[in-house]
Structure 1
Amino acid sequence: MSDPMRPRASLRTAVVWEVLKDALEARVKATGRESLDVLDTGGGSGNFAVPVARLGHRVTVVDPSPNALFALERRAAEAGVADRVQGVQGDAHGLFDVAERGGYDVVLCHGVLEYVDDPAEGVRNAVEALRPSGVLSLLAAGLGGAVLARALAGHFTEARRALTDPAGRWGEGDPVPRRFTAEQLTGLVSEAGVHVGAVHGVRVFADLVPGVLVDTEPGALEALLKLEAAAAELPSFHSVATQLHVLGEKQERGEERDET
C-alpha cells in the first residue's frame, strides 16, 4: 500500500488517516507534549508510521518481516524522518520482547488481528503497551465486506460460506485467515480495558467501484473519498465495510471497576 498522503492510495487509507491525525492532535493537547511516542504493531514498510513521524512524533514499528523493515528504513530516510522512526523485528505475541510495556501514548494495531493465533491476546498486548489514557487505533478485516464482494463477483457459495464460517473465510484459497464484525472487535477492545470512542467502516465503496471509473471520470476520486468519509461512522454501513476501525482510550483501573 502506498503512502496515505497520495491521492489514489487514500481510497484505502483516508478515513483511518483523518481519524488518526485528529486523535494524535487531541493526545498532544492532553499530554502537553508536542511529540508523542507511538507504537505501530505490524506496521510493515511504514504506511502509517512515516506520515505519523512527519507530524513530529517518534514511532516504533514492530513487524516480523525483515524485508518490510528494510523498506521502512528506506522510506523513512527518503521522507527525512529516519531519526524519528525505529523498526524492530517481532510480533504481537512476543510484543514485550521488543517493545516497552506501558511506554506509548498511541498504539496502532492495523491488519494484525487477522493473522495472530489469539486475537484477544493481540489486543491485550496492544493495550498493555499504552500509557494511562493512551489511544488505541485498531483496524481489521470486516466480515460483511468479504461476503458482499464474493456475492457481487458471482461466487454465491463462497459468500455463504464466509457468512457462516467462524473465522469468516470463504474457502481454502482465501488469503485472509480471519475476519470480524464490529461487535466482535468492540467486544475484544472493551474486554481489554479500552473505552470505545468510535467505530468506522473503511472501504465501504472503494473496493466495489471499478478502478477505471475512479481514474478516468473527472472529480470521481474526490467525490468517492467524500462518500467514504460520510458513511464511515454510520452503523448501517459497518456491516458491509471491507475493514473496520475502532478508536478507543485506555481506561484507568478505577474506571473499569466503576463500570462493572
Structure 2
Amino acid sequence: MSDPLRPRASLRTAVVWEVLRDALDRRVKAAGRDALEVLDTGGGSGKFAVPLARLGHRVTVVDPSPNALFALERRAAEAGVADLVRGVQGDAHGLFDVVERDGYDLVLCHGVLEYVEDPAESVRNAVAALRPSGTLSLLAAGLGGAVLARALAGHFTEARQALADPAGQWGAGDPLTRRFTAEQLSGLVTDAGLAVTAVHGVRVFADLVPGVLVDAEPGAIDALLRLEAAAAEVPAFHSVATQLHVLAERG
C-alpha cells in the first residue's frame, strides 16, 4: 500500500505530515507496538485522522460539529478504516467529558487555538490527555503570515491592524479569533509541562505563489514542496509562515 502521508499530501499539509510521520515512527519504536492510540481534537472530517488510521493507528476524533463527524464517518468507511476511527461530539473546553485522561500516545491539536476562548486551557487539556511518554502536535495560525498576506494583497491598514492587535486580528471581517507567534505557541506548550522538540513554519510560500506559476511549470509542485520543507525548520521563516507547527513531548 502506498504511503498516504506523502504523494497525496497537499502543499498546505505536506510539512506537517512529514513531521508527524517521523514522530510516529519514533513513538512506535519507543512504545514497542505498531498501533498507537491517537486523539485528534477538532479533527473535523478526518483530514489527518483517516490517513493515520490507514497506517494502522486507532484514532479518536473530537469535534463540536455533527456534520463534520458525519463526513468523518463516511471518509473512514470509504478508506476501509471505519473500525479504527471513532468520532465523538465535544470540544477542547470539555474534552474530558468525552475522552479519558492519560490515554493517548499522540494528541493532535490542529486548527483549534485560533477559535477557542482560552488557548492555554485547550493546550493543558491536550497535554492531560497524553500518556506519560506521549507526543503533542500543535498547529495554529501564524501572525506574521497574515500580516504579510494582507500587505501583499494591498490591504495595508488591515496588515497594520493585525500587527498591532494583541490577538493578531486584521479587522471585523477576520474569520479567526487570534493568531500566534512561534514564541507564544512554544510558551503555551512549556507552561503546560511539555518540552518543545521542534517548531516548523507551514505554508511559508504556498499561499503567496500564484497558482498559475505552479501549474504552468513542469515539476513546480515538487520543487515548491521541497522548498517548503527546507524553509520549515529555519527560524527566520517562522515569522512569515501562514501556520506554525509545534511538536512537544514530556521532558
TM category, shorter: over 0.9
The residue number in structure 1 matching 2:216 is 216
Shift of 1:153: 0.5
- Return closer, same or farther for 1:4/1:214 CA change in 2, 3 Å cut-off: farther
Partner of 2:163: 163
**In structure 2, how many angstroms separate the alpha carbons of the residues matched to 1:193 and 1:236?**
26
SS of match in other structure, 2:60 = strand
CA distance in 2: counterparts of 1:220 and 1:230, whole angstroms:
15
Query: What does residue 195 of structure 1 align with?
Result: 195
Q: CA RMSD in A?
A: 1.0
Distance 1:47 1:6, change over 3 A: farther
Equivalent residue, structure 1, for 2:145: 145
TM-score when normalising by structure 2:
0.97
Q: List, as ranges, runs of 4+ consecutive aligned residues in structure 1 with deviation greater than 2 Å.
A: 3-7
| Contact residue 4 and residue 10 of structure 1 kept, 8 A | no
For 1:4 and 1:117, locate their aligned partners in 2 and report how far apart those are by CA, in whole Å. Answer: 32
Q: Which residue of 1 aligns with 2:249?
A: 249
- Please give the alpha-carbon distance, in whole angstroms, between the structure 2 residues aligned to 1:147 and 1:4: 30
> Counterpart of 2:125 in structure 1: which amino acid?
N
Amino acid at match of 1:162: A
What code does the residue aligned with 1:180 have? F
Residues of 2 paired with 1:250 and 1:77: CA distance? 34
Residue 41 of structure 2 contacts residue 108 of structure 2 at CA under 8 Å; is this kept in 1?
yes
Provide the rounded CA distance (Å) in 2 between the counterparts of 1:85 and 1:37. 10
**Secondary structure of 1:12's partner?**
coil
Q: Report if aligned partners of 2:5, 2:18 keep a CA contact under 8 Å in 1.
A: no
Query: Hey, what does 2:178 align to over in structure 1?
Result: 178
Q: Which residue of 1 aligns with 2:79?
A: 79
Which residue of structure 2 lines up, in the alignment, with residue 104 of structure 1?
104
Q: Which runs of 5+ in 2 are unaligned?
A: none
> Contact 2:6 / 2:18 at 8 angstroms: preserved in 1?
no
Q: Output the amino acid matched with 1:133.
A: S
Is the partner of 1:115 in helix, strand or coil?
coil
Query: CA offsets per residue over residues 122-168 of structure 1, 9 Å max, x none?
Result: 00000000000200000000000000000001111100000000110
Distance in 1, Cα, partners of 2:80 & 2:6: 15
1-side partners of 2:214 and 2:250: how far apart? 39
Alignment match, 1:16: 16
Question: Which segments of 5 or more consecutive residues in structure 1 lack a partner in the other structure?
Answer: 252-260
